[in-house]
Amino acid sequence: MSTLLDIKNLSTHFNTSAGTIKAVNDVSFELREGETLGLVGESGCGKSVTALSIMRLVPSPPGRIVSGDVIFQGQNLLKISEAEMQNVRGRDIGMIFQEPMTSLNPVLSIGRQLREPLELHLGMTKQQSLSRSSELLELVGIPDPATRLKTFPHQTSGGQRQRIMIAMALSCEPKLLIADEATTALDVTIQAQILEIIKDLTDRLGTSVIIITHNLGVVARYADSVNVMYAGKLRESGSLDQVYKEPKHPYTVGLLNSVPTLDLDADVRLQPIRGEIPNLIDLPKGCAFIDRCDYAGQKCEESEPELEEVEDAHFGACWEHKRVSKSLLGITS
Amino acid sequence: MTTTTANSTKDEAISNTQSPLLEIRNLKVHFPVTEGFIIQRQVGVIKAVDGVNLSVNPGETLGLVGESGSGKTTIGRAILKLENATEGQILLNGEDITKSTGNRLRDFRRRLGMVFQDPFGSLNPRMSAGNLVGEPLKIHGLTTTKSDYKRRVAELLKIVGLNSMMAGRYPHEFSGGQRQRIGVARALAAKPDVMVLDEPVSALDVSIQAQVINLIKDLQTEFGLAYIFIAHDLSVVRNISDRVAVMYLGKIVEIGSRDDIYNHPKHPYTQALLSAVPTANPELERNRERIVLEGDIPSPLNPPSGCVFRTRCPLATKECSTQVPELQSVSGNHRAACIKGDWYKSDSSEHESVSEEA
Ligand SMILES: Nc1ncnc2c1ncn2[C@@H]1O[C@H](COP(=O)(O)OP(=O)(O)OP(=O)(O)O)[C@@H](O)[C@H]1O
Ligand code: SF4
Ligand code: SF4
Ligand SMILES: [Mg+2]
């Protein structure tokens, strides 16, 4: 499969009164056509800013993409004009956010909001966009689409609004869909419905997907590969089986040992990562994970490890990756 | 025990050697819904909790799961008397809290602790960590001297893994995990017997979540606390609970031991709920059967007739819209409410239960 998205050395900073936050710090990864990639990590690690950088939606000031390339279908998105970028958004790349209410316009009817990109990007007539809109609502499982098109966002439930967002994000058949915590706020049975719809539609359209989440289960169910982020950097990257079964970074091990899952012994004692997430303004000189790491040694204090290929297409950024194993800390699954 | 005890609570009491510490009998919490300008008229009623029976034994954890609007939080708040019971009883050591006032009520409140979901909104931002933890000591007059008070506050902070040097800091100076620890210390201060924990870890990052879960477990072992642990995360509930009740639209649809619920779920809703939870195991996920429920959770203002789950139930038939299923024993204390279940006896005369009637 050919490469759809190639991100090279992307860095995005925020200048605040307290100092510079390196929210995204020299991040590189690729996404192939039709691939679903999970981007996981805890609060503040830079997942959303990575997505916003791809879309060139980083609020500025205080934010700024300071370096890197975002090559999408052979074109560097960081080099094109804002007018060209507007065409990429919505037409070539669709995005779904956690809180649909903030991304839906409260004063415009749902029909109006669905029709707009169709008329703008695909040059549809009003008639055509109307019939496509109701088709789209039907695809995402909204009953009685014709009536629903006339209603406003506040008249629909959270689950319904998220379905409408999916319909909107996929309406122009984009090559890439970015779903940032798209189901986090929803109840588990509704979350399952929404994720199944996303999977079904993107499979049918051949769309690549970046699922951003802190939920390791969602990634295990829906992604092909996974990137683990911590304090602005990618720390591990590989196929699902590589990363979940043989994690090469102590942070990934820590995450996996922190979540209770239904397939493990019910009485298992969780093994949390000690300490707290570091302050991005004031990171240690060496590895950013050092204060929480059981493997840390001298070298870790002195210099920051870069991502390196530890086995075929499996990358880790840890000086001690050869010693790292899930079972070493006591849990085998 | 009074003579009006329902069967369901009766055999629970018989089969357990201990008598329940906390018992909820036929609890209903209904909220009137009003409409109109200046002149308000009642247009409906939300039955947030509609005939729930539960018991909690000393030192055990009862998990309460269900989706939003199922009534979990309202039960927790009713126990703390933050919400008035429309009907039913809440007994602490056999004495009804719902009727008590004055000193009696204050004593009940001391014996019940609560930890809230939002570590950001639930602590008064103008109070220092030390004062937040110490306030219950003052309210209930539990320390006599100033030095005693200080010692106790420091001790409480230490118990939850915070440095007592931090007592002077304010909530915004703490991380989410630390704030939740302050919330736990505050709930512990008055030495309660029962603690209601309402989504205590759902706002936290996974690594911090695990720290707080372990803390909550350790405190139970150390102080013999009983917990009502409310959460929508079924994996977390499994890790912490001895028994589990599954709620849907104000009713308990299934209740049993942790193993009953997770290994032998009987109610179609419990089964769907469990199958909707993705596990962090890619191999398992590739081969797993999943039940994806259709439709949305109905509005609690206008719940379906008959079985409340019928609008989304894959097994529903016509009878489900007319017959209200009651909780019946699958085996021992494992109960589920579905008229299609092979354990279900439609001749309910032998299986009288107050839970679903009236
Ligand atoms: N508008 C902004 N101004 C200043 N700092 C910002 C801004 N937006 C993000 N940041 C900072 O950038 C860092 C990365 O944030 P980001 O939103 O990408 O995290 P995330 O991984 O998406 O976290 P979450 O899981 O909480 O959504 C954080 O330290 C955050 O505080
Ligand atoms: S580089 Fe060192 S500190 Fe960083 S994760 Fe690896 S062992 Fe730990
Ligand atoms: S009673 Fe009917 S609708 Fe309710 S759970 Fe059983 S089969 Fe489903
Ligand atoms: Mg985010």
Return the structure tokens found at A105. 């316009």
Q: Identify the pLDDT of residue B100.
A: 86
For B2, the 3-state DSSP assignment is: coil
Residue B236's pLDDT is 94
Check residue B119 and give its pLDDT. 67
pLDDT of residue A100: 61
Tokens matching residue B236: 């977390």
Query: Is residue B65 within a helix (H) or strand (E), and if so which, with residue range?
Result: strand B61-65
Decide if pLDDT at B352 tops 50: no
**Whole-angstrom Cα distance, residue B155 to residue A32?**
55
- A257 near A328, Cβ under 8 Å? no
Locate B301 and state its tokens: 């203002």
CA distance A200 to A222: 11
- For chain B, the structural domain boundaries read 18-111+192-357
Q: What are phi and psi of A261, to 5 degrees?
A: -130, 155
Q: Which residues contact A77 (CB under 8 A, 6 or more apart)?
A: A54, A56, A70, A71, A85, A88
Would you call B217 exposed, middle or buried from its count of C-beta atoms within 10 A (0-12, 13-18, 19+)? middle
Predicted local confidence at residue B111, as pLDDT: 92
Which residues in chain A belong to E strands, given as ranges? 3-16, 19-32, 36-40, 63-72, 75-76, 93-96, 176-180, 208-213, 225-230, 233-239, 308-311, 314-316
Q: How far is CA B145 from CA A163, B137, B149, in A?
A: 59, 11, 6
Pick the CATH number of B18-111+192-357 from 3.40.630.30, 3.90.226.10, 3.40.50.10310, 3.40.50.300: 3.40.50.300
pLDDT (0 to 100) of residue A26: 96
* B184 CB near ligand 3 (under 6 Å): no
CATH number of residue A148's parent domain: 3.40.50.300
Instruction: Sheet containing A3-16: give its strands across.
Output: A19-32, A3-16, A63-72, A75-76
- Domain assignment present for residue A123? The answer is yes
Question: Which residues are within 8 A (CB) of B188 and not within 5 positions of it... i.e. 6 or more apart?
Answer: B113, B156, B159, B160, B195, B219, B223
DSSP per-residue codes, B286-326: HH-------SPPPPTTSPPSSSTTTTT-TT--GGGGT----
- B-facing residues of A in 91-120 (CB < 8 A) are none
Cβ atoms of B252 and B292 within 8 Å: the answer is no
Distance, in angstroms, between B103 CA and closest chain A CA? Answer: 40
Q: What is the pLDDT of residue A332?
A: 41
Bond prior to A61 in cis (omega within 30° of 0): yes
- From CA A114, how far away is CA A125, in angstroms rounded? 13
B293 vs A contacts (CB less than 8 Å): 189, 192-193
- The reply to whether omega before A62 is within 30° of 0 (cis) is yes
- Of B358, B62, B318, give the one whose Cα is nearest residue B196: B62
Confidence of residue B18 (pLDDT cuts 50, 70, 90): low
Q: So what's the pLDDT on residue B180?
A: 87
- Report the separation in Å between the CA atom of A180 and the middle of ligand 1, taken as the mean of its atom positions: 13
Residue B354's pLDDT is what? 45
Per-residue pLDDT of chain A (333 residues; tens, 9 = 90+): 699 999 999 999 999 888 999 999 999 999 999 999 999 998 889 999 999 999 999 998 899 999 999 999 999 999 999 999 999 998 999 999 877 666 788 889 999 999 999 999 999 999 999 999 999 998 888 888 999 999 998 888 778 888 898 999 999 999 999 999 988 878 888 889 889 999 999 999 999 999 999 999 999 999 999 999 999 999 999 999 999 999 999 999 999 999 998 988 888 899 999 988 888 888 888 999 999 999 999 999 999 999 999 999 999 999 999 999 876 444 444
pLDDT confidence of residue A312: 94
> DSSP 3-state helix, strand, coil percentages of chain A (rounded to 5)?
35, 25, 40
Number of folded domains that form chain A: 1
Nearest to A272 among B176, B210, B277 (CB): B210
pLDDT in tens, B62-115: 999 998 888 999 999 999 988 999 999 999 999 999 988 888 888 888 899 989
A193 to chain B: which residues are within 8 Å by CB? 292-294
Q: So what's the pLDDT on residue B347?
A: 66
Axis-axis angle for helices A126-139, A158-170 (nearest 10) = 130
Question: What is the distance between the terminal CA atoms of chain B, rounded to a whole angstrom?
Answer: 22
Handedness of CA A98, B118, A232, A282 (dihedral sign): positive
Q: What is the C-alpha separation between A53 and B150, in angstroms, rounded? A: 50
User: With 70 as the cut, is the pLDDT of residue B9 above it?
Assistant: no
Q: Which ligand is nearest to the CA of A53?
A: 1
Query: Based on the number of CB atoms within 10 Å of its own CB, is A306 exposed (0-12), middle (13-18) or buried (19 or more)?
Result: exposed
Interface size between A and B, measured as CB pairs under 8 A: 133
Q: What is the amino acid identity at position B257?
A: S
Is ligand 2 within 6 A of the CB of residue A290?
yes
Q: State the DSSP string of B157-226.
A: HHHTT--GGGGG--GGGS-HHHHHHHHHHHHHTT--SEEEEESTTTTS-HHHHHHHHHHHHHHHHHH--E
Domain membership of residue A85 (yes or no) is yes
- CA–CA distance, B24 with B218 (Å, rounded to integer): 26
- Tell the residue nearest (CA) to atom 6 of ligand 3: B338
Q: Looking at A93-107, A122-136, B283-297, B320-334, which range is the least confident one? A: A93-107
Residue A308: strand pairing partners: A316
Q: Which atom of ligand 1 is nearest to the CA of A98?
A: 27
Question: Which residues span the domain enclosing A34?
Answer: 3-316
> Has residue A324 been placed in a domain?
no
H or E element in which residue A280 lies:
none
CA distance A26 to A8: 8
Q: What is the DSSP letter of A319?
A: T
Smallest Cα distance from A86 to chain B, Å: 34
Query: pLDDT digit string (tens) for B194-225?
Result: 999 999 888 888 888 899 899 999 999 999 99
Residues B114-150 have pLDDT tens digits of 898 776 778 899 999 999 999 999 988 888 899 999 9
